Chains A and B, each alone.
Chain A
Amino acid sequence: MDTDFIDIGTVEDVPVRGSRLVKTPDATIAIFKTMEGQIFAIEDKCPHLSGPLSQGIVHGNRVTCPLHNLVIDLANGQADGPGGGPNGKCVKTFPIEIMDGRILLKPFDVPSEKVA
């Protein structure tokens, strides 16, 4: 296993169609669980005016921002609509692995990947 992955809790800990937070020194990360039980990790910060996405309504693989209803794809962090939301910015997503019902998260930037 990649040593950068950190065990943050169990799949059960996250409510279905809901989310929980993981605080890190760089960012607050929202861990989402969809209706189908899929887990996603994405920065808790809307590209529009930084709304806490964790507080939104989850539907399908998407979440609607609680502040002004931007819809964000949990898988790639992209906003709905032409150009992918405000100025084409998207939300940062984080790698996740599930092992024996536990969620492993890679919360920190791997410098070489951080190009743009």
Chain B
Amino acid sequence: MPQRQKLVIVGNGMAPGRMLEELLKRSPRAYDITIFNAEPRVNYDRIMLSPVLSAEKTFEDIIIHDDDWYAANDITLHKGKRVARIDRDAKVVEAEDGTAASYDRLVLATGSSPFIIPVPGHDLPGVLAYRDLDDVDAMVEAAEHGGKAVVIGGGLLGLEAAAGLQMRGMDVTVIHLMPTLMERQLDTAAGHLLRQAVEARGIKVLTEANTQSITEKDGKVAGVQIEDGRLLPADIVVMAVGIKPSSGIAKDAGLTVGRGISVDDTLCTSDPAVSAVGECVEHRGMCYGLVAPLYEMAKTLAANLAGEEASYTGSVTSTKLKVTGINLFSAGDFADAEGREEIVLRDASNGVYRRLVLEDNRIVGAVLYGDVADGAWFFDLIKRSTDISEMRDTVIFGQGFAGGTPLDPTAAVAALPDDGEICGCNGICKGTIVEAIGELGLKDVEGVRMHTKASASCGSCTGLVEQLLTLSLGDDYDPAGVPPMCGCTDLGHGDVRRLIVAKNLKTIPDVMQELEWTSSCGCAKCRPALNYYLLATWPGEYTDDNQSRFINERVHANIQKDGTYSVVPRMWGGITSADELRAIADVTDKFNVPTVKVTGGQRIDLLGIQKEDLPAVWADLNAAGLVSGHAYGKALRTVKTCVGTDWCRFGTQDSTGFGIRIEKFMWGSWTPAKVKMAVSGCPRNCSEATCKDVGVICVDSGYEIHFAGAAGLEIKGTVVLGHASTEDEALEIIVAVTQLYREQAYYLERIHKWAARVGVDTVREQIMDDVERRKALFERFCYSQKFSQIDPWAERVQGDQAHEFMPLADLTRMQAAE
């Protein structure tokens, strides 16, 4: 065997990681490989640092190549060694600590470094960047002490950092120089929607704010001074204002460097023995800051190193913001320019905004907010420069409508050509995935992820991969059955619900035994779900397992961040009286309640009550006729009403009276997730019934019944379930649809999610068309109510579960125990 050539790589980020995979696949033993990495660790998925910051993932989850991988591939990895010098004549690189390696081929993959604005105070302790795991660790550490964070920069990274810090419990403000957030990816309108969504999670946003200096106290950061005079106090400051390619060592070595290290289409620098790849590169005048183009470069470079001919000609990029609950997609170019036209779709009630920029009947840019399912399709049209003149009128509605394709979600994916891209991060095409499913017999998303890498990076194409599975496997692919309930079983929620009925399982231990649970007593995910399933399936027979309920439902109050509780009594339909208010006021005084708040559901919340005091608080409230509002439960919360015909000059029906009737009929019933309802007296809709789980709009001819709305993490208008001409009929419909939801939904699945899963039409058929069935559902609900309409507060005032509220012993005065 000939002497192997020596390949040395400087930097061990995502680009060289992918390059090595491609190279080893092509010619496993071509090189003797050595890597220097300034970071003291293996290669990991940098784009997943945000989920690590928000605690949705751990570092272990995002490792790409572990130590075993380097060992198995016989690669020397120098961790924590920064290359300081390249001697191109001797063909040697040398690290800061003197470690040296000689090369035949050298690859520079130094990535980029965060740009730090050189304002006074930028180097104080507590001023952080957001680039690597050390930054995340520093942020997590800071967040443990709570306090205030200021994030400078309202781009992708800044917003992800802000969301993560906020989820870790910090009070976060984002300051942004421009008028619009993420202005490089978004236009003003989408930026505005994004700002609202960011603010809705409690993050403050200041735009057009220029940082003047960072102030100091006790040798560390104390605040951020803005040019307009405002001073924002801060315990930490995160700068996320941009990146610059790291090209220092290349420049020192005399290589041609522009904004980044200049390379040609084969990724060769001005020295034929030296290549460069990744964010440190400038190619045809472009520097990239997203992984998809870097992965394309990596592939080209690997081919070249393996002796094949390949060239890279540049990329069009697309972006998704990885903040749970905010859906945003943007691709291409949408600056205003001569000869460009645009098509805009706004559907404010559904929180949807779409904008396409056209040039010569071809899409050159796309921004999607709210519903981003068509992102891949638009991106494909941009990359292919497809002439869209034939579908111009409908193209904005997405693939489902354009060109007459039917509205089946899988149709969109079915229509994509084989080289249509599914996974943007990894550049995986439809054909590759379909082939892998067929040849390797893959059955689920996990398998596809493992074998093709599709959806393995940012994960936002998981839905498309699922559709490809459905398309390839037909009925053999059961997406609902695939994700197991939790780590204690392989069964999904649907299977467990079905088997509880089929096998007549009546207790949690029975379920665990019969369905072969792998843990002895379940976990905090499956136990509450099983408790609900059994309760809903066997009303009157099953004894509720208090220890399998989340604390709020166990003690019938909401736990707060400091371990105190909040108490919300029911106010039927939002109506109260002097006596009730007096009782609330007295309780407030007697128990020193620190905060009394009017909630969005038309009632009053008493916050900050000590657990030991709960039974006494309830006793006083009970005495005035106030009962538990179930504000803590997966249960019926409120029925919000307007004043309807009682007072309003527009009212068409007694909306208040009907709301109270619904609430009195349905309170106490446990449901898979919380259920909120509302009744409006006319279509002016003052009680906002059209974003509730179930809503009623009164009209002259009766009651229009809506369902499947949402106004939380997601915002969604309701759909119409049907029309009722009398109040009795309306009640029957509302109760029946709730019961159907109770019987079919997965634990924690809100009504709109359930409706989307089983199909709005099937729900409508069962409730509106099949009157027999509706009546049967109604009866079953009434039966189960017999066992649930007992005020849990009154029970506990009587001494039920007393141990919950009393300490076992108080040793604060030493002798007390005896």
Contacts and interface: CB of A to CB of B under 8 A. Distances in A.
B538 interface: no
Interface residues of B, number: 36
B524 A57 contact: yes
Shortest Cβ-Cβ A-B pairs, 10 listed: A64-B524, A20-B808, A8-B809, A17-B547, A57-B524, A55-B551, A21-B807, A52-B563, A66-B551, A24-B811
Nearest to A34: B521
A7 B808 CA distance: 11
B597 interface: no
B810 A23 contact: yes
A37 interface: no
B58 A81 contact: yes
Contacts of B522: 59
A69 B559 CA distance: 13
A64 B520 CA distance: 15
Contacts of A31: 808
Contacts of B561: 49, 67
> Which one of B59, B549, B808, B811 has the greatest number of beta carbons of chain A within 10 Å?
B808
Contact of B809 (A9, A16, A56, A71): A9
B119 interface: no
A84 B257 CA distance: 45
A51 B169 CA distance: 12
9 contacts: A22-B808, A35-B520, A48-B144, A49-B169, A59-B527, A64-B523, A67-B561, A71-B524, A82-B59
Q: Dominant SS at the B interface? A: loop
Contacts of B803: 13-15, 18, 20
B811 A22 contact: yes
Contacts of B55: 68
Interface in B521-561: 521-524, 527-528, 547-551, 554-555, 559, 561
B598 interface: no
Given A6-B811, A23-B810, A66 B58 contact: no
A60 B520 CA distance: 6
Interface of A: 6-9, 13-18, 20-25, 31, 34-35, 48-52, 55-60, 64, 66-69, 71, 81-83, 86-87, 107
B164 to A, nearest CB: 13
A67 B552 CA distance: 11
A21 B549 CA distance: 19
Nearest to A80: B58
Nearest to A70: B55
A11 B409 CA distance: 57
B140 interface: yes
Contact of A55 (B559, B808, B811): B559
A13 B522 CA distance: 23
Interface string B775-818: 00000000000000000000000000001000111111000011
A31 B811 CA distance: 14
Contact of A66 (B520, B550, B808): B550
Contact of B524 (A18, A34, A56): A56
B144 A86 contact: yes
A11 to B, nearest CB: 11
A71 B59 CA distance: 17
B141 interface: yes
